[in-house]
Amino acid sequence: MIRPLPSLPAWGVLERISRRLGASLSHVQRREAARRAMPDTGQIGGKQAHIALVGVGPGAADLLTLRAMRMIAAADVVLYDRLVEPEVVALSSRNAHKIYVGKEVGAHAWPQDRIDAKIIEEARKGQRVVRLKSGDPSIFGRVTEELIAARAAGIEVEIVPGVTAACAAAAHRQVSLTERGVADTLILTTGTCREGDPLPESALHARPGTTTVFYMSVRQATRIRDGLIMRGVPNGVQIQIAADVAKPSEQHLSCALRDLPECLQEANINGCAILILTWPKEIKMQAKQYDFVGAAL
């Protein structure tokens, strides 16, 4: 549940946004102002307890929402992973307990159940706990597990939305993901799934008039390329690669669909990237290569 934010004086908003650029408010004043902006919560052992699953966007701190900044500034405990930029973590109080949960592709130093348990452990102390999540928590952010854990413990929890990588990448390239007359359907999908599950049918919904954004799909590039071509996507259609979006190492590439795996390899892109393919309405399917009925990637 997202509660309405109380109104704040304009100077307070500006000071908190600019505090990393030399704002004059003292640390104590900033923290108290941020606490006043936090929602009222239940109490555990006489102390307030609250969990916020905060979307921090794909990288740059200036893509944070004002609510995200308030939550981070007021947190007693901050949990973060390798996808969260240091400048975002630095927005928290110097007294906040910062916990690196160390999740990496294929090597989870902190399994999800351990993260869930730590969030609840800290909240039960009456702490305001913030779990920082790259992009938007509700888009491939594994937010459900943490919501279930918080609700099971009877602790108030909220999601703070963030800018997802697809939107940030499109903004950087100054293009529309849903250009009129070109693509009237936007598909967000992933090439990776929970361990033990069959790989997702990532290309299933591609057709003329769609833009498909593939998250966590670099390692599945060959399979995705083949699946799209089997769906009838002409192999010369351009696919965009956006790596490390809104980070200092950001890069954008474009190549023909048929060359996708080689392009990724040549650019040494093997981790944090999204793939964006717009199949314009006017580009028809290739000669029948694929039976849509009952077919799978």
Residue 293 lies in a domain: no
Domain that holds residue 261: 166-279
CATH number where 25 lies: 3.40.1010.10
- Let me know whether 159 and 15 are in one domain: yes
- Let me know whether 159 and 221 are in one domain: no
**Which one of 163, 180, 205 terminates a domain?**
163
- Let me know whether 119 and 211 are in one domain: no
- The verdict on pTM exceeding 0.85 is no
Statement: residue 219 has pLDDT above 80: yes
Number of domains within the chain:
2
Percent of the chain with pLDDT over 90: 69
Question: DSSP states of 8-42 as a string?
Answer: --HHHHHHHHHGGGT--S-HHHHHHHHHHHSPP--
- Let me know whether 134 and 18 are in one domain: yes
Cα separation values, 277 from 8, 29, 125, 206, Å: 42, 47, 47, 9
pLDDT reported for residue 34: 52
pLDDT reported for residue 290: 42
Q: What is the dihedral of CA 157, 200, 272, 69, to 10 degrees?
A: -20
Residue 195 lies in a domain: yes
**Which one of 163, 194, 223 terminates a domain?**
163
Tokens standing for residue 176: 């529309």
* 22 neighbors 132 (Cβ within 8 angstroms): no
Residue 287 lies in a domain: no
Residue 64 lies in a domain: yes
* 63 neighbors 141 (Cβ within 8 angstroms): no
pLDDT reported for residue 105: 53
- Let me know whether 148 and 182 are in one domain: no
Residue 289 lies in a domain: no
CATH number where 177 lies: 3.30.950.10
Pairing of strands 185-190, 251-256: unpaired
**Among all residues, which ones are annotated catalytic?**
81, 103
- Let me know whether 109 and 206 are in one domain: no
With tokens 């670099």, the residue in question is 218
Tens digit of pLDDT for each residue in 5-44?
444 443 354 455 555 544 434 444 454 455 555 554 445 5
- Let me know whether 116 and 63 are in one domain: yes
- Let me know whether 209 and 147 are in one domain: no
Tens digit of pLDDT for each residue in 133-171?
999 999 999 899 999 999 999 999 999 999 999 999 999
| CA 174 to chain CA centroid, nearest Å | 20
- Let me know whether 147 and 233 are in one domain: no
- Let me know whether 138 and 230 are in one domain: no
- Let me know whether 149 and 14 are in one domain: yes
Pairing of strands 238-243, 251-256: antiparallel
Residue 270 lies in a domain: yes
**Three-state DSSP class for residue 253:** strand
Q: Please enumerate in sequence order all residues whose Cβ is within 8 A of that of 295, keeping only pairs 6 or more positions apart, or say none.
A: 230
- Let me know whether 159 and 173 are in one domain: no
